[in-house]
Amino acid sequence: MKGTAFITGATSGFGDAIARRLSLDGYKIIALGRRKERLEKLAGELGNTHIIAADIRDKKAVFDAVKNLPENFKDIEVLVNNAGLALGQEKTIDASIEDFETMVDTNIKGLLYSTKAVLPIMTQRKSGYIFNLGSVAGHWPYPGGNVYGGTKAFVKQFSYNLRNDLLGTGIRVTEIAPGICKTEFSEVRFGGDKAKADAVYEGVEYITAEDIAQIVLNCLNMPHRVNINVVEAMATQQTWAGLFIEKK
């Protein structure tokens, strides 16, 4: 049996797929998410899983949960900072400031909470692997990406800076930046409008959550001397839109 993998946002999408793949590979799982019934279902299917029903935005809940982990789940080898979301795709002037705040609180502050809570365990063990789920939206701009893209750009730069801070600890850090992938992401973004969400993926052989889980495992299986700084993964049918020039 390997050590423990702590996965945030484990109730759907990337988080669920990563939990399942790492469990299959022999890791114990700590699954954090807001929807307790989904966590219980996941734990029942996987076994050897400790669930934390909490919102990643709740700083006290995150730190308390890590502090009070059962003894047999304290050997955290892997942290997957997956919890995140996009809300809306309006232009900045038309978008909701509350949506902006939710994205900042989840995608930035939540990632900081889980990282700060787990780092003392990893540094004491002098080993570990941190995966931060970014996005191509944090590397490249697109209309309506505004604050979501900004939060994911933070994930990218924080991952680089975290690597510098962890030099000499044996802890590896990788940002994974997926492109178009069909999960609950677009449904959340468009306020539960399934038709609007489905339209995003029409005619596209998109990335799957299982593809991202495989990338995580591939990175883990690299020799310890190798740190993969960033993996930017797009669907084969997706590429950059190119620079836009407004013509009068």
Q: What is the CA radius of gyration of the chain?
A: 18
* Active-site entry in 27, 129, 148, 206: 148
CA distance 124 to 122: 5
CA distance 230 to 209: 17
Indicate the helix (H) or strand (E) that contains 103: helix 97-103
Angle at which helices 209-220 and 13-24 cross, to 10°: 50
Residues in CB range of 103: below 8 A, 6 or more apart: 85, 86, 87, 147, 148, 151
CA distance 2 to 221: 12
CA distance 235 to 206: 5
Within 10 Å of residue 171's Cβ, how many Cβ atoms?
Answer: 22
Within 10 Å of residue 145's Cβ, how many Cβ atoms?
Answer: 18
Q: Any idea how long the chain is? A: 248
Catalytic annotation present for 148: yes
Residues designated catalytic: 148
